[in-house]
Each structure stands twice: as C-alpha cells, then as structure tokens.
C-alpha cells in the first residue's frame, strides 16, 4: 500500500536528525532528503566502500571542514574531486576566504585583487602564497619522479601534499593520514595547472600520468562488498565515480545532491535513473536525487553519517 503524505511536526528545539527523518513523508524535495537520510544510514554497513565526490565551490565554502571531519572519523573511504578542491584546501591552511553577496561589482573586485566564487571571495594573496608552496612541492615531486623513473599519478601527488600540511581542518591532511585516496581526473585544471605550466618552463620533463589513478580506483571498486556514492554537485568528479562503478555493474546505493536540470542532457544534471541505463548504478540500487544546493542539504545528512 502506498505511503501517505504526513504533516511535519516542527518543534523549536528539535534535532536535525529528527527533522531529517520526519521529512520522508512530507512530499516534495523534503521527501527526497528523508529518503537520502535512510540511504546514508545503510552506507554504514561493514564492507561498504563510501565514495564521496564534490565540486570545488564546496571546498571554497565552510563544507571543507565537514569533509575534513568525515576523513578524520573515517566516514568516507574514497574521494573524487576537482583539483580546485585540493588547492583551496591548501590555501585555507594558512588563511581565510571572505563572504560577499552574489551580486558584487566584479570589475571593482578585480581591481581590488579579489576573486569571486558565488557569494565568497578568495583574495589574490592566497594565490601568491599557494604559488610558493606549490613551487617547492613540485620540486620535491620532480625528484620523486626522477627517482622512481616514472610519472606520478594524481592520487599520489595529492597524498604527498597532504602529508606536508599541518591543519586539522584540512580534508587533504586527513585523507593522507587516514589513507583515504583522493582521485582527481583533471589535475592540471585550476591554479595547480597554472603553476605547473610555470614550473615546467624550468623542468620540462615533469609531468603527471593521469592514467595512474585508474588501477587503484579500479581495485577498490572491484574489491568492495558494496559501493555507495555520495555525489555532491556535478562535473567530472561525479562522472568519474559512476563511470568507475561500471567495473562492478554499478553502485549498490547512491545519493545525488545537485542543482542541475536533467533536461539539457548534461551529466551534471542527470538523475540516478539515467545512470541505471548505463549500469553505472545497479538496477535495484537504493538511490535518490535531491535537487538542492549541497551546502544546505548535506550538513543535515552528515548528522546521520557521523552518528
């Protein structure tokens, strides 16, 4: 028998966890949040490999510290993200970003050396400091490349970088220490790539073998009893996670939280169902799509994951 729509009972002092659970029978996106909470609960079973993906803007935001906590408490097992996430996590180890509105005068910001990401600002000085960090880091990685006689893979470089950090609010720091691999299918995008462009003028042989991420990611996915996806936003991180699960005929469970529309046929806006046609998510997998900004919804769901 079909489940009924039931009224929300809101109390001023209620807990997030209780709100989230009660949303399941509310209808609309509240129901999707409630269903996501249920799936998150199931992700905590032994043998389930939890793959978390996110876009860079979430690291620009205060979600970074939540990702760090999830890595510190080993609530996720694999991270796939864009390189911007890594570089901004590093910048935040020694500085802060600012809040602004979504409607700033961007020409004025540019003249002031302020780079905008939605309603947040990263000042140029952050990039200047990053430049120095990366230049000396690349030199070390270049030595390692020479010593090993092969190019490094993105996950190796990110892990090496994480071991150099000293900030307990950094997800790269905790991922490295807790052996949570951070895969990155496009490591030359972002400031990381720009600095590498300059570094290569001195060391033209320095490179990154992006195919080096394939085998370790493949092994984890093949070895898992179950795989569970927590897909925040779209982009190459999302596709890489679901694509890799083709090796085992799809994720066993997955939640998507993003804002894109499925009606432009983009991967970023695609729903869980589309992935089932491909075998990137199993036909009978537990899945839900929440159409929302992850910065609103994922903190709510994280209370379940951290429980």
- For its own copies, the binding residues in 205-264 under the rule CB under 8 A are 205-215, 218, 233-236, 239-240, 243, 246-247, 259-264
Q: Does 12 bind its own copies (CB under 8 A)?
A: yes
Q: Is 38 annotated as catalytic?
A: no
Taking the least distance from each CB to its own copies, the nearer of 8 and 163 is 8
Please give the Cα distance from 165 to 9 (Å, whole number).
Answer: 45
Please give the Cα distance from 53 to 182 (Å, whole number).
Answer: 10
Q: Does 116 bind its own copies (CB under 8 A)?
A: yes
How far, CA to CA in Å, does 248 sit from each of 245, 272, 280? Answer: 6, 16, 8
Q: Identify the residue among 21, 41, 48, 120 touching its own copies (CB under 8 A).
A: 120
Residue 294 CB, nearest distance to its own copies (Å)?
A: 8
- Exposure on the CB side of residue 79, measured as CA atoms within 13 A: 33
Q: Name the active-site residue from 75, 226, 238, 280.
A: 280
Q: Identify the residue among 65, 131, 139, 160 touching its own copies (CB under 8 A).
A: 65
- Subset of 149-208 contacting its own copies (CB under 8 A): 150-151, 169, 185-190, 193-194, 196-197, 200, 205-208
Cβ-based neighbours of 169, under 8 Å, separated by 6 or more: 64, 65, 68, 92, 93
Residue 272 CB, nearest distance to its own copies (Å)?
A: 9
List beta partners, residue 251: 281
Region from 39-47, 158-166, 174-182, 291-299 binding its own copies, contact rule CB under 8 A:
291-299
Q: Which tokens is 105 given?
A: 């005068």
Q: Does 66 bind its own copies (CB under 8 A)?
A: yes
Q: What angle, rounded to 10 degrees, do the helices at 294-306 and 28-42 form?
A: 40
Judge contact between 281 and 251, C-beta under 8 A: yes
Q: Identify the residue among 44, 94, 99, 225 touching its own copies (CB under 8 A).
A: 99
Please give the Cα distance from 304 to 307 (Å, whole number).
Answer: 5
Q: Identify the residue among 17, 21, 135, 178 touching its own copies (CB under 8 A).
A: 17
Please give the Cα distance from 300 to 302 (Å, whole number).
Answer: 5
Residues that contact its own copies, how many (by CB under 8 A): 131
Tell me if residue 251 falls in helix, strand or coil.
Answer: strand
Residue 164 CB, nearest distance to its own copies (Å)?
A: 20
- Token look-up 């898992």 returns 224
Q: Which tokens is 146 given?
A: 């020479």
Site string for its own copies, 128-147 (x = CB under 8 A): --------------------
Q: Does 73 bind its own copies (CB under 8 A)?
A: no
How far, CA to CA in Å, does 225 sit from each of 23, 45, 258, 306? Answer: 30, 10, 27, 21
Region from 11-19, 44-52, 173-181, 223-231 binding its own copies, contact rule CB under 8 A:
11-19
Residue 271 CB, nearest distance to its own copies (Å)?
A: 8
**Which residues are known catalytic residues?**
280
């Amino acid at each position: 028998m079909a489940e009924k729509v039931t009224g929300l009972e809101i109390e001023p002092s209620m807990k997030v966890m209780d709100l989230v659970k009660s949303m399941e029978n509310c209808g609309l996106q509240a129901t999707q949040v409630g269903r996501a909470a249920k799936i998150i609960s199931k992700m905590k079973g032994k043998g389930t490999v939890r793959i978390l993906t996110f876009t860079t803007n979430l690291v620009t935001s205060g979600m970074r510290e939540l990702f760090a906590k999830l890595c510190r408490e080993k609530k996720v097992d694999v991270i796939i993200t864009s390189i911007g996430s890594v570089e901004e996590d590093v910048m935040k180890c020694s500085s802060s970003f600012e809040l602004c509105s979504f409607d700033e005068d961007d020409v004025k910001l540019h003249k002031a050396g302020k780079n905008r990401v939605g309603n947040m600002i990263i000042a140029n000085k952050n990039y200047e400091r990053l430049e120095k960090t990366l230049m000396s880091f690349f030199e070390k990685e270049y030595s390692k490349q020479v010593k090993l006689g092969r190019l490094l893979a993105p996950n190796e470089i990110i892990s090496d970088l994480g071991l150099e950090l000293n900030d307990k609010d950094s997800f790269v720091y905790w991922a490295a220490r807790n052996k949570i691999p951070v895969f990155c299918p496009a490591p030359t995008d972002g400031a990381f790539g720009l600095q590498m462009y300059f570094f290569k003028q001195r060391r033209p042989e320095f490179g990154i073998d992006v195919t080096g991420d394939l085998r370790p990611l493949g092994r984890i996915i093949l070895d898992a009893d179950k795989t569970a996806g927590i897909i925040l936003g779209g982009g190459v991180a999302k596709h890489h996670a679901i694509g890799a699960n083709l090796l085992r005929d799809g994720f066993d469970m997955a939640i998507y939280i993003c804002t894109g529309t499925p009606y432009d046929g983009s991967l970023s806006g695609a729903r869980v169902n589309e992935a089932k046609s491909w075998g990137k998510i199993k036909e009978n997998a537990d899945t839900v799509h929440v159409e929302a900004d992850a910065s609103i919804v994922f903190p709510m769901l994280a209370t379940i994951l951290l429980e």
